[in-house]
Amino acid sequence: MGVTTDQALTTRSGIELAAAIAQGEISALEAVEAHIARIEQVNPAINAVVVKRYDAARAEACAADERHARGEPLGPLGGVPVTIKESLDLAGTPTTFGLPSRANTPMTSDDVYVARLRAAGAIILGKTNVSQLLIYTEADNPVYGRTNNPWNLERSPGGSSGGQGAIIAAGASPLGLGTDIGGSIRVPAAFCGIAGLRPTAGRTPDAPSFGLMSGQRAIVSQVGALARTVADVALTTEIINGGRNPQSEPPMPLGDYTSVDVAKLRVAYYTDDGSFPVAASVRRAVVEAAGALAGRGAQVTEWRPPEIETVMRIFFGVLSADGGKGAIEALGKDARDKRVASLLLLATAPRPLLAALAGALRLGGQRNLPRLMGYFGYKDTDHYWKLIEAQMAYLKRFAHALDTDDGGPFDVIISPAWALPAIPHGATQDLVTAGAYAIIHNVTGYPAGVVPVTRVRPEDEQPRKAGADSMQKAARRTEMGSAGLPVGVQVTARPWREHMALAAMQAIEEAMRSHEDYPTIAPL
């Protein structure tokens, strides 16, 4: 065995680690020990890994090394240490969703996607932090506390897969699994400077043993990969898909992203969808990513998605259609995170009260919060059905725009993943509508990924105009002092064409990686 430093191991991708183990350059145990040491180094500052299984991981690594010594194949991730989101079942560990009442109940079996990851040879070091009930874009809950962004400890890593984003960005895990119903993979990827992919709705459906809104099928959570490289995201996506051509559900084959000719892609891009003005750094990142694809020969056209207000009305209306009953039942007597409590106030309030409050807020100079209130308060089956009809109609309009707008038909869309770089802790409830850039593809169900592009430069900290609107004030606070934070872009493809998105992501990664301000491993 060659002598390799811990840092040399923890900066490698999952694919590189698997190759080194397969070639006998390092052992699986060395890889596991290096990443355990890195977790122990960074976790006191960021609190990302909240359930540790070090002894089991060491035993599994030794078993992998023994199999390798006998000449047995180890799988595409053989011996590679990884992490998974806390909400995914792992036998012998609790799945709390941030609920104290679930903290002492270990699961008896693995989630299907966790099982596929382990069958590919991956060794799970632990589980990573989430938002309570997975319903806000931070990673903080009454069970495990708050996760900090490794690029700036006063900032959030996003959510709900925020712990996963933070530990990968810190170089303590090369890759792992998250879930996404409203940006929960893509926002942490963007905030933490890593890559991630939410597959097409229906490819990797998240079916937890416990969860919120699992019965509604209009906007569904998907399990997906986060990693520091697009190649690792692509491999992990293939693994959880059940292979390139799966023999069981889901039935859809996964295309080969390495066979896509980027020069033949038709690319739409936009920096503003009309929902929330983006930060200068985010706008720059989108333009640079689009330019990188143009530099590879792709046809790139500025574009704008139709009717973003309709998207927001559908998203918030569908997920609050039960008037918050599911969340209240799930919480029971457990302590409620303040962000959950705020969302429940909107979900449970009657529409006349919300209308009155919205009117008063408008008189006080508020614009965004009254608009948000208008999406809530419907608690009847008739309105829910109308929302589903609106969703189906929007899908037709969206596809028609991609097909017929100038520059189309488009294969790929480049856009912001969120309107701002990583937000200060606690700012979620003041910036809800900044997330429309991600939630549009939870409504459409299109596959959407994030790839890092740049970091915020001092000149990007352009102060927004002062005003009474609370969300714009929060955006102003977020942008100030954001220099150095990573910025990613969202890359979206047509349904079942994840390989198109991954090919574009890979091209952007290759073009931007040599730049001085490209995010690598957070300097903790």
The pLDDT > 70 percentage for the chain reads 99
pLDDT tens across 512-524, in order?
A: 999 999 999 998 8
How far apart (Å, rounded) are the C-alpha atoms in residues 192 and 336? Answer: 26
Catalytic residue check, 386 = no
pLDDT at 131 over 80: yes
pLDDT tens across 18-53, in order?
A: 999 999 999 999 999 999 999 999 999 999 999 999
pLDDT at 2: 40
Q: Copy the structure tokens of residue 133.
A: 């009930």
pLDDT tens across 356-395, in order?
A: 999 999 999 999 999 999 999 999 999 999 999 999 999 9
Question: Given pLDDT bands bounded at 50, 70 and 90, which one contains residue 91?
Answer: very high
Catalytic residue among 13, 27, 156, 160: 160
Residue 64: how many CA atoms within 13 Å on its side-chain side?
Answer: 32
Tell me if 398 sits within 8 A of 444, measured CB to CB. yes
pLDDT at 232: 99
Question: Given pLDDT bands bounded at 50, 70 and 90, which one contains residue 94?
Answer: very high
pLDDT at 473: 93
pLDDT at 464 over 90: no
Residues pairing with 455 in the sheet: 486
Q: Copy the structure tokens of residue 281.
A: 């750094």
How far apart (Å, rounded) are the C-alpha atoms in residues 99 and 409? Answer: 46
Spatial CA neighbour of 415 closest among 371, 374, 453, 368: 453
pLDDT at 234 over 60: yes
At residue 152, the 3 state secondary structure works out as strand
Q: Which of 152-166, 242-256, 321-335 has the weakest average pLDDT?
A: 242-256
The helix (run of H) or strand (run of E) holding residue 492 is strand 486-493
Q: In this predicted model, which residue has the larger pLDDT, 223 or 466? A: 223
Catalytic residue among 161, 184, 470, 482: 184
Catalytic residue check, 184 = yes
The pLDDT > 90 percentage for the chain reads 93
- Please identify, in words, the CATH class of the domain defined by 6-312+383-512: alpha beta
Neighbours of 45 (CB within 10 A): 13
Residues pairing with 195 in the sheet: 227
Q: Copy the structure tokens of residue 489.
A: 């872009």
CA distances 478 to 170, 182, 272, 462, Å, are 22, 21, 18, 11
Tell me if 395 sits within 8 A of 302, measured CB to CB. no
Catalytic residue among 13, 27, 85, 482: 85
Mean pLDDT of 392-420: 98
pLDDT at 1: 37
Catalytic residue check, 209 = no
Burial of residue 457 (number of CB atoms within 10 Å: 0-12, 13-18, 19+): middle
pLDDT tens across 64-76, in order?
A: 999 999 999 999 9
Sign of the alpha-carbon dihedral angle for 109, 114, 119, 123: negative
How many residues in total does the chain contain? 524
How far apart (Å, rounded) are the C-alpha atoms in residues 92 and 13? Answer: 28
